[in-house]
Copies of this chain bind each other. A is one copy, B any other.
Amino acid sequence: NALMKARITITPKKSILDPQGEAVKQAIHHLDMPCVQEVRVGKYIELDIDGSDLAKTQEKLETICRDLLSNPVVEDYRLDLQA
């Protein structure tokens, strides 16, 4: 049967403090790569979905991204759905 794949990336909102991004940037500088200016660390979620109705699935996934997978108060999300 047909299979769709959804790739969701969730990143902290632009001006929210991202202590993890800061710590990873320091660590990368210690590994002598000072040219790294900014680091943002977020979540990556991959879903394998049965079916082939892209539009309906896209719409369902938008609500799930907003209500469950991300916290709209502190995070933004990007959803990419492909057959």
Residues of chain A touching chain B, judged by Cβ–Cβ distance below 8 Å, are: 3, 9-11, 24, 27-28, 31, 33, 35-51, 57, 60-61, 63-64, 67-69
Contacts and interface: CB of A to CB of B under 8 A. Distances in A.
26 contacts: A3-B37, A11-B44, A24-B69, A28-B47, A28-B64, A31-B64, A31-B68, A33-B60, A33-B61, A35-B51, A35-B57, A36-B50, A37-B49, A38-B46, A38-B47, A38-B48, A39-B45, A39-B46, A39-B47, A41-B44, A41-B45, A42-B43, A42-B45, A42-B46, A43-B43, A44-B44
A47 B36 contact: yes
A44 B46 contact: no
